[in-house]
Amino acid sequence: MPVETISWKVNSCHIIDQTRLPEKLRYKKIQTIEEMWTAIRELQVRGAPAIGIAAAYGLYLGIRDSQAREFASFEKDIEKASKYLGSSRPTAVNLFWALERMKDLARKHREIPVRMIKQKLLEEAHLILAEDIRSSIALGDAGAELLPDGARILTHCNAGGLATGGYGTALAVIYRAVESGKKISVFADETRPLLQGARLTCWELAMNNIPVTAICDNMAAWVMARGMVDAVLVGADRIAANGDFANKIGTYGLATLAKAHRIPFYAAAPLSTFDISLENGDLIPIEERDASEVMRLNGKNICPSEGVAAFNPAFDVTPHRLVTAFITERGVIRPPFDSKISRILR
Ligand code: MRU
C-alpha cells in the first residue's frame, strides 16, 4: 500500500496530517468527534473516500461514551453525531454515504444491548476502511488496462493513497499500471488554492518512484497542445445519476481542454462516490471556503488585503458529455452513462 492515510490503533484513530505535507510526515491521534470534525473541515484528512472513512470512525468516537441504555435514546445520540459530522464538508458524498451506512447498521441491531451496538459500529468503520482498500485496488486494475505502456498522464488535485484508505483512485490506476510493468509518467497540476497536487500528489508519486512533473494550473492547455499528454485522469467527489460529477475546482477546465485536444478524460471513483439520488450535477452542493485561502499563500498576502474580494469554490462540476469513461471497482463505464450507472450500482 503506498501510504497508511488513516488507521485505528489502541482506541483512537490515526491520520496523516496532510496540511503538514510535504515538509513533515506527521501522524495525528484523533480521540473525539470534535477533533475528527476539525480534521475533516481543515483538510488534515481529505479526499472523498478518506473523508468517508474518517466520518465512520468519527461517528463511533461520538457515541462511544453515550450513556443511553435503550435503543431509542442511543439512536438520538447517533443522529446528533451524524448531523454534526455531516456539517463538516458538503460536497464529497462518501461522507454522507458512510454516516448512513453506520446508522443503518445500528438500526439493524436495535434489539441487542447498546454496548454491543457500539462494538458493531467500530467493526463497521474497520470494514469501510478495508473495503475501500480492496475497491481501490480493483478499480486500479480496471483502469490500468486503459493506459498504454509509456503513457503520460495529467492529473489534478490528489486522488492518491492520501485521499483514500491508502491506495487511491486516479493514482491507484497509475500504481497498478506500474506494478503490471508499464512505464507511466505524470504531470501533476499544482491545484490552487491549497496545492494538493504540488504538495500531496508529487509527494506520494515521488515516494513511489513514479516520474512526476509539477506544473502550474495555467500550464495544462500548453502541455496538451504540445502533445505531451496521452490521458487526463482525475478522481471524483460526487457523481450524479447522469454522470455529471464534482471534483476539485479546475477539473471542469481540464475536461474542456482534453476535449479540445482530443485527449481521453477519465474519472476514477469507488461506487461510494456515486449519488444517484441526484439527477444531474446542478444539484451537487458545492463547498465554498474562506477567501483567505485565495488571498494568502504560505502565510503571506498575495493580493492587496483591502478593496479586493475573493471567490473560493472548492469544487466544480464537469458535465458528463466531457467524460470518456468512469473507472470503478466493478469495471469501466462508458457513455451513455445514466442507464449503466444505475445498473452497476444495483
Ligand atoms: O478538497 P479536497 O482535497 O478534499 O479535494 C479532493 C478532491 O477533489 C479529490 O480529487 C477527490 O476527493 C477524489 S479523491 C480520491
Q: What is the residue-averaged pLDDT of the chain?
A: 97
Angle at 280 between CA 276 and CA 282, to 5 degrees: 130
pLDDT tens for each residue of 71-92: 999 999 999 999 999 999 999 9
Burial class (CB in 10 A: 0-12, 13-18, 19+), 193: buried
Pocket test for ligand 1, best of 3, 133, 157 (most atoms within 8 A of CB): 157
d(CA 97, CA 272): 7
Q: What is the dihedral of CA 167, 171, 176, 181, to 10 degrees?
A: -140
Place of cell 509518467: 185
Q: Calculate mean pLDDT across residues 30-39.
A: 98
- 161-211: per-residue pLDDT in tens? 999 998 999 999 999 999 999 999 999 999 999 999 999 999 999 999 999
Cα–Cα distance, 342 to 346 (Å, whole number): 7
Residue 248 CB less than 6 A away from ligand 1: yes
Q: Is the pLDDT reported for residue 331 higher than 80? A: yes
Give the pLDDT confidence score for residue 115 in this predicted structure. 97
DSSP label at residue 313: B
Q: How confident is the model at residue 3 (pLDDT cuts 50, 70, 90)?
A: confident
* Overall size of the chain counted in residues: 346
Q: Is the predicted pLDDT of residue 257 greater than 90, yes or no?
A: yes
pLDDT at position 286 is: 98
| Residue in the structure block whose three cell numbers are 461514551 | 65
pLDDT for 1 equals 67
Cα separation, 64 vs 114, in Å, equals 10
Q: Is the CB of 191 under 6 A from ligand 1?
A: no
- pTM more than 0.95: yes
Specify the pLDDT at position 290: 97
- What does the alpha-carbon distance between residue 202 and residue 101 come to, in Å, rounded to a whole number? 33
Over residues 227-242, the mean pLDDT reads 98
Q: How far is the CA of 214 from the centre of ligand 1 (A)?
A: 18
17 given a catalytic annotation: no
Note the pLDDT tens digit of each residue in 135-144.
999 999 999 9
| Ligand 1 proximity of 247 Cβ (cutoff 6 Å) | yes
CA 336–ligand 1 middle distance (angstroms): 25
Is 157 touching ligand 1 by the criterion CB < 6 Å?
yes
What is the signed CA dihedral for 40, 134, 102, 159, rounded to 10 degrees?
A: 20
2: confidence class by pLDDT, cuts 50, 70, 90: confident
Average pLDDT over residues 293-309: 94
